[in-house]
Amino acid sequence: MSFLADTHTALWYFEGDPALSDTARELLETTIEPVYLSIASVWEISIKVGLRKLRLRAAPHRVLEGMLEAGFELLPITANQALQSGHLPFHHRDPFDRMLIAQAQDRGLTLISRDEALREYDVMVLW
């Protein structure tokens, strides 16, 4: 089973935030399976830092470098996933999260997220 980290999951892990659940932290530290970071998350971080809705200890490109060094693998967005995200039910309105759902469904990935709204979709979510 491979995993897809929600944006907050990857950030909290990278920054050592205690908001990250013990289960998520242990999984991220011990799994031998790939843990992906979506390009949508990179985009979300960049947008929210630019809008001053997100403050990080380092510049976004340094945070990305650190996440990759920590073992996250970048997951590109395909045209099919972009189209699929537009056809999902509107349990969740955030376009970044909708893309993560589409990617998880398309690739058979388990999402690592605290976001309860993601559980409304046909996707496995761990926290």
Q: Residue 117 sits in a domain of what CATH number?
A: 3.40.50.1010
Long-range contacts, 79-83 (Cβ 8 Å, 24+): 80/106, 81/106
Question: What pLDDT score was predicted for residue 27?
Answer: 96
The H or E element that residue 109 is part of is none
What's this model's pTM, rounded to 2 decimal places? Answer: 0.94
For residue 2, what are its two tokens?
């491979």
Query: What does DSSP assign to residue 21?
Result: -
* Percentage, residues of the chain above pLDDT 70: 100
Domain span at residue 55 reads: 3-126
How many structural domains comprise the chain?
1
